[in-house]
Amino acid sequence: MSAVDFLSSIGIRTLLLSAKAISQRNGKMALLNPNAAITNVLQMAGIDTLIPVCSSLDKACEIVTS
């Protein structure tokens, strides 16, 4: 997500719908490398407690394959 420079509730809705759909197929979704402003929005919305936010690809792969 490093190239994402804006995130509103419409975008958060898309993230949640995607994560739910993946979860229903027994998969996992992680968010990789959001910038500081986007991380702040994710935290304010409590999304970081529902979808893991990672700063490295290795960590993200570890989470989704665990």
Tell me which residues touch other proteins (CB under 8 A).
6-10, 12-13, 16-17, 19-20, 23, 36-37, 40-41, 44-46, 49-51
Q: What residue type is assigned to position 16 of the chain?
A: L
Q: Using alpha carbons only, what angle is made at residue 13 by residues 49 and 20, rounded to the nearest 5 degrees?
A: 60
> Which residue's CB is nearer to other proteins, number 32 or number 45?
45
> Which residue's CB is nearer to other proteins, number 43 or number 56?
43
> Which residue's CB is nearer to other proteins, number 7 or number 60?
7
**What residues contact residue 48 under an 8 Å CB cut-off, 6+ apart?**
39, 42
